[in-house]
Chain A
Amino acid sequence: MDRMPKWADALLVPLISLIIAFFISGLVILAIGEDPIAAMKLMIDGALGSTYGWGYTLYYATNFMFTGLAVAVAFHAGLFNIGGEGQATLGGLGVAVVCLALPWPHWSLALGAAVIGAAAFGALWAAVPAWLQAKRGSHIVITTIMFNFIAASLLNYVLVNIMRPVGSMDPASARFAVETKLPRLHEILGLVGIPFNNRNPANISLLIAMAACVLVWVLIWHTRLGYQIRAFGKSEKAAVYAGIRPVRITMYAMLISGGLAGMMAVNNVMGEAQRLVLNSVEGAGFIGIAVALMGRNHPFGVFLAAILFGFLYQGGAELALWTKIPRELIVVVQALVILFTGALDNMVRMPVERVFMAFRKAK
C-alpha cells in the first residue's frame, strides 16, 4: 500500500524541502545582518523583474538543465554521477576543438558539429568510470570525483601548452570565429515579435536544452532502452533475470549522462564566452545534483528546478552587486537543497507520510 499519494511524493515533499532550505538561508542572511525579505525582493527583481534578468536566469538555467538531466539519467540507472563537472569541462574542450578546427561558414553547421563534439567529449569522460564500474566494480562515485580533478588538470595543460594563442599570457583558447556565434534569445524572440533585452547571454542553447528535456522524457518512459535503464536501476538482479545486460546498460546510461553534461558547453563556451577558459563550468556540474534531486529525476521536474536555480544564480549575482551578501549565498542554498531533498529526505518525508496515514485513518 502506498503511504501517500503520488502527487505528495512528487510535489509536496520537494516543496517542503525547498521551503526549509529557504527558511534556513533566510536565517543565515539574518545572521549576517541583512534583511531576508529585502534580499528576496532584490533577487526576484534582479532575476525576474526585467527581460535582462530573465535572460541571465535562462542562460544559467540552460546549464543546469543539461547537468541536471545528466545526473537524473544516471540516477535512473542506479548510478550516482558526480562527474558532471569534469564531463562538462571536457565538453568545453570538444566545443573548442570543433569551433577552432574548421572555418565554419554558418553558425547552424557549427552548432550541429559543436553539439556532437561536446556530447562526444563528455561521453568519453564518463565512459572510463562507467567501464570501470561495469567491468571491475570500481565505485563510480569515487572514480567520477577523481575524473573531475583529472579533467581540470587536463584542461589546464591543454590551455596552457596547446590551445593558448602565441603571445598570449592568458590560459585560454583563441576566440572563435564570428561565424560560430550563436543566435541570442532576443534575436530568436524578435523573429516572432517579442521584445527581449539584448545584453544577456541567453541563446539558442536554451531551446536545445528544452528539447533535451523532452527527449530524455521520451527515452526514459517510452523506449526499450529507457525501460531497461529503469529496471536495471531498480534491481540489477532482476534485470539479469529479464535478460538485461548490466555492462551494456551501465555504459549506455553513463554515455548518455556524460553526453548531456558535455552539451552544457554549447551554452557557456560557444553561446557565451566564445572561447575556452579555465573553470568555465563554475560548479554547474554539482548544481546538477541539486537540480536532479529537486526535480525528482523527472525531466519536467529538472526543467523547473533548473529555472529555479537559474533564478537563484542570477538573483545571487544581483544581491552581490547591490548588498554585502556575496554570491556564495547561492552555494549555501544549493547545499541546503541537496541536504534536505537528498540526504535528509526521510526527515521531511516521514512526518508527511504520518500526516497522510492519520488522515486516511480518520476517513
Chain B
Amino acid sequence: MDFLTLLQILDSTLRLATPLLLACLAGMFSERAGIFDIGLEGKMLAAAFVSGAVAAVTVNVWLGLLAGIGASLLLAGIHGLASITFRGNQLISGVAINSLAAGLTVLIGQNWFGLGGRTPSLVGDGRFPPLTLPFSEALAPVPVIGPIYHDLISGHTFLVYGAMALVPASWWLLSRTRFGLRLRAVGENPAAVDTAGVSVVRMRFAAVAICGVLCGLAGAYLATGLSAGFVKDMTAGRGFIALAALIFAKWRPVQAMGACLLFGLLEAIANRYQNIDLGGVIIPVQFMQALPYILTVVILAGFVGKAVPPRAGGEPYVKER
C-alpha cells in the first residue's frame, strides 16, 4: 500500500466517520440525560430524505439542512413525548421511529419525485461545497506534510469540520457548564435534580432536542455532503453503528470521536478492498463490515473494560418521596 492509497483511505475515513460522529454525539446527549435512543437511524434517515428533497427543489443546501433538522426534530419530539411525557418504553419508541422513517421516506419520496424512493441528484448549490483550507495549494508540493494537508485535511465540506469541532464543544458543554451538569445529573439520578428544584422533564426534552438537531446534521450530511441526493435506506445501519460507537466510547465525547474514526476506517477499508490478505490469512469483507458490531458486543460483555451506561438510562422518571 503506497502513501497515496493510504491518504485516500484516510480521506474517505474522515468522510465516512462524520455522519457516525454526529449521530454518536446525538445519542450521547440523549443517553447521558437518561433517554435511550435506538432511533438514531430513523432520525438520520428522515433528515437525509428531507434535506435531499428540499435541497433538490430549492437548489439551496442550507434550506435543505434546516428542513432536515426539522424532520429529525419532529421524530425526536415523538420520542420525547413517548418516553418523557407518557413514560413509555424508550426502546419500543426507538423501534417505531426507525420503521416510521423507513416507511415515510419512501412513501413521500415516491409521491413527490416518482424515482423509486430516490430524490433527484443534487447539483451546484444543492450540495455542500468542499472547503479549501488556506495555503492548501501553496503547501501541496511540500513532501509528506503537503499531501496530508492538501488531500486529507483540506477539501472537506463544512459539516466534516463542524462535526470535528463539536467534539471539544460537547465535552466543554457537558463538563464545564451548568447545563451539562444538570443534563448528566438527570441521566444518573433524576430525583436529585428534581429535589434540587430543576425540572427533569425540561432537561430531558432539551437533551432529546439536541439529539434531534445532531441527527439532522448527520442525515443532511449523508444526502448533501457524502452523496448527491437521497436514496432509499441510505443510512444503511449507520445509526446503529453510531450507537455501537457510543457504547464503545463509554458515552464520552472524545472517545466517541476515536470510535467513530475507527469504525469509519473499517468502512473505508471494506469499501476499497473485497478481501484483505494478512500474510496468508484472508479476512473477508463481510467480517470488516461486521467488525463494529462484534467489537461492541465484546465491549458490552465487559471482557475489555466494562461499559456502564448512565444509571437512570431507559427509566421513565416517576416522582417518589
Q: Is A in direct contact with B (CB under 8 Å) within the complex?
A: yes
- Residues of chain A whose beta carbon lies under 8 Å from any beta carbon of chain B: 28, 32-33, 80, 82, 128-129, 132, 136-139, 141-143, 145-147, 149-150, 153-154, 156-157, 160-161, 286, 289, 293, 324-326, 328-336, 338-339, 342-347
Q: When chains A and B are docked, how far (Å) is the Cα of A324 from the Cα of B107?
A: 9
Minimal Cβ-Cβ distance residue in B for A326: B110
A326-B107, A332-B104 known, 12 other contacts, Cβ within 8 Å:
A32-B107, A32-B108, A132-B301, A141-B91, A142-B247, A145-B240, A324-B110, A326-B106, A328-B106, A331-B103, A335-B103, A344-B93
| B111 proximal to A (CB < 8 A) | yes
Minimal Cβ-Cβ distance residue in B for A293: B92
**Count the B residues whose beta carbon is within 8 Å of the partner chain — how many?**
47
Which residues of chain B are within 8 angstroms of A153 by Cβ–Cβ distance?
286-287, 289-290
A338 touches B92 (CB 8 A): yes
B99 touches A331 (CB 8 A): yes
Interface residues in B258-306 (C-beta closer than 8 Å to A): 284, 286-287, 289-290, 293-294, 296-297, 300-302
- With A33-B111, A343-B88: A331-B301 Cβ-Cβ less than 8 Å: no
- With A150-B293, A157-B287, A344-B82: A338-B309 Cβ-Cβ less than 8 Å: no
Q: When chains A and B are docked, how far (Å) is the Cα of A149 from the Cα of B289?
A: 9
Q: When chains A and B are docked, how far (Å) is the Cα of A156 from the Cα of B289?
A: 11
A343 touches B92 (CB 8 A): yes
Q: When chains A and B are docked, how far (Å) is the Cα of A345 from the Cα of B92?
A: 11
- With A142-B243, A146-B244: A343-B286 Cβ-Cβ less than 8 Å: no
Task: Pick the residue among B83, B95, B300 that contacts A286 (CB under 8 A).
Answer: B95
B96 touches A132 (CB 8 A): no
A138 touches B302 (CB 8 A): yes
**3 closest A-B pairs (Cβ-Cβ)?**
A331-B103, A343-B93, A335-B99
Which residues of chain B are within 8 angstroms of A154 by Cβ–Cβ distance?
286, 290
Which residues of chain B are within 8 angstroms of A145 by Cβ–Cβ distance?
38, 240, 243
Which residues of chain A are within 8 angstroms of B117 by Cβ–Cβ distance?
326, 328
- Residues of chain B whose beta carbon lies under 8 Å from any beta carbon of chain A: 38, 78, 81-83, 86-93, 95-100, 102-104, 106-108, 110-111, 114, 117, 237, 240, 243-244, 247, 284, 286-287, 289-290, 293-294, 296-297, 300-302, 309
- With A139-B309, A289-B95, A343-B83: A149-B110 Cβ-Cβ less than 8 Å: no
Minimal Cβ-Cβ distance residue in A for B107: A328
Task: Pick the residue among B83, B103, B110, B286 that contacts A332 (CB under 8 A).
Answer: B103
B38 touches A347 (CB 8 A): no
Q: When chains A and B are docked, how far (Å) is the Cα of A336 from the Cα of B103?
A: 10
Which residues of chain B are within 8 angstroms of A289 by Cβ–Cβ distance?
92, 95
B88 touches A346 (CB 8 A): yes
Pull 28 A–B residue pairs with CB atoms less than 8 Å apart, ordered by A: A28-B107, A32-B111, A80-B91, A82-B38, A128-B297, A137-B302, A145-B240, A145-B243, A146-B296, A146-B297, A149-B237, A153-B287, A153-B289, A156-B286, A289-B95, A326-B107, A326-B117, A331-B99, A332-B100, A332-B103, A335-B102, A335-B103, A338-B96, A339-B78, A343-B82, A345-B86, A345-B88, A347-B86
